[in-house]
Amino acid sequence: MASLPPIDLPAGTSGEGAFDAPVAEPSREKLFDYLLRLGDDSLILGQRLSEYCGHAPSVEVDLSLANMALDLIGQATLFLDLAGEVEGKGRDGDALAFHRDVLDFRNCWLVEQPNGDFAQTMARQWLFSTWQKSLFDRLANSRDPRIAEIAAKAVKEVAYHQDLAAEWVIRLGDGTEESRRRMVDGLDWMWRFVPELFEMDGIAAEAVRCGIGVDVAAFRDDYDRRLREVIAGAGLEPPADQRPILGGRRGHHSEHLGHLLAIMQFLPRTYPDSKW
Amino acid sequence: MSKDWPLWEVFVRAKGGMAHRHVGSVHAPDAGIALRHARDTYTRRMEGVSLWVVPSAQITASDPAEDAAMFDPAMDKIYRHPTFYDIPDDVKHI
């Protein structure tokens, strides 16, 4: 007798227990934390890229980087506004971006790393955007329609970031002797921050269990395959694995983040509620 | 850096059915990056649905010194304009 085809279970359900068992809701605190992670990644990388405004190697590259920064800050606004709404204490995206201290930021280490030279910036962008693209592809199916909507809008922006950054990794890696050396150094600097992107802790697991978040560990192989393709296209070897650095999601950050926040938050903290 | 890169002319199609129109130029090391620079420079405000880039060096231009010989003879040939026809109101883009 032919057997029935396997049943596709919705994300976050175990397939066990009573029929029509209610799907769990994450606690308010955990959902808030999960949204901060999403928003802070985009916010901090957007601020980093903004540092290039007027300083990029050419006016065209200046615009490319500023466009990406604006995309990211737009995503951060949506995620952090939603985080404030979930938190329910009257804070909006601006309050969360400009009036939070460094230990309360939940971004990964990769995005807070300094720009370095253009190759280092592109190495960071490529490693992050490739991850964020896969993340948002899946987040667009979140059971929370507000999150799904933001991800569906942002994924098109991020697809372009990933594409542009990969093109630069290939051109610099496969360019001159100097550009190759710089890209090798840039990848080497950023490589140790990749494992953190795939870390699953209690809050991430809870978000997955409730069908709201993404199981990042599940697309690690796919990510590694994409990386290998571009690195091969650039005529480079993948950097040697280094001791991974973790902890951004728990508020442990490199010294670089404090300096970034000092510049980003100075004005709104010194002149609260100023408008111009 | 950008002065080391060749110049590319950028053409944008504003919407389907319209012709690509010259909007400006960008510096870029190759055609692929030129297309992306054109996207980032000239379509940030929803200006287009399609882009062309062409190496500026590939364009052969008329000589401004020859303007008179090139263009003046057309000036008094008004019968070449289709102005003697009535154009229906609902025909667009003419």
Q: What pLDDT, on the 0 to 100 scale, is given for residue A117?
A: 97
Closest to A113 in 3D by CA, of A265, A254, A261: A254
Q: What pLDDT, on the 0 to 100 scale, is given for residue A65?
A: 97
Q: How far apart are CA A69 and CA A53, in angstroms?
A: 9
Q: How far is B5 from chain A (nearest CA, A)?
A: 10
What confidence tens digit (pLDDT) does each residue in A189-231 have?
Answer: 999 999 999 999 999 999 999 999 999 999 999 999 999 999 9
The arrangement of strands across the sheet holding B50-55 comes to B20-27, B7-13, B50-55
Q: Does A71 have pLDDT greater than 90?
A: yes
Q: Does B84 have pLDDT greater than 90?
A: no
ipTM over 0.85: no
Q: How far apart are CA B25 and CA B10, in angstroms?
A: 5
User: Which of B2, B30, B44 lies at the smallest CB-CB distance from A58?
Assistant: B2
Q: Does A30 have pLDDT greater than 70?
A: yes
Q: What pLDDT, on the 0 to 100 scale, is given for residue A11?
A: 65
How big is the CA angle at A159 (ends B49 and A200), to the nearest 5 degrees? 160
Q: Is residue B80 part of a domain?
A: no
Q: How far apart are CA A162 and CA A132, in angstroms?
A: 9
CATH number at residue B31: 3.10.20.520
Q: How far apart are CA A188 and CA B13, in angstroms?
A: 41
Q: Is residue B52 part of a domain?
A: yes
Q: Is residue B6 part of a domain?
A: yes
Domain ranges, residue B20 = 2-60
pTM: 0.87
What is the domain partition of chain A in residue ranges?
A: 28-266
Q: Does B4 have pLDDT greater than 90?
A: no
Region of poorest pLDDT, from A5-19, A140-154, A232-246: A5-19
Chain B residue closest in CA terms to A164: B36
CATH node for A28-266: 1.20.1260.10
Average pLDDT over residues A146-171: 98
Q: How far apart are CA A78 and CA A19, in angstroms?
A: 36
Query: Tokens at residue A129, please?
Result: 């955007």
Q: Which residues of chain A does B27 touch, with a Cβ-Cβ cutoff of 8 Å? A: 58, 60
Q: How far apart are CA B71 and CA A202, in angstroms?
A: 75
DSSP-derived letter for residue B47 is -
Q: What pLDDT, on the 0 to 100 scale, is given for residue B80?
A: 82
The tally of domains found in chain B comes to 1
Chain A residue closest in CA terms to B40: A64
Q: Does A14 have pLDDT greater than 90?
A: no
Q: Is residue B86 part of a domain?
A: no
Go through A216-237 and write b for each residue having 16 or more CB atoms within 10 A of its CB, e for each that does not. Answer: beebbeebeebbeebbeebebe
DSSP-derived letter for residue A173 is H
Q: How far is B51 from chain A (nearest CA, A)?
A: 15
Interface check B50 vs A, CB under 8 A: no
**A107, A139, A204, A261 from A36: Cα distances, Å:** 8, 15, 12, 15
Q: What pLDDT, on the 0 to 100 scale, is given for residue A3?
A: 63
Interface check A63 vs B, CB under 8 A: yes
What confidence tens digit (pLDDT) does each residue in A93-135 have?
Answer: 999 999 999 999 999 999 999 999 999 999 999 999 999 999 9
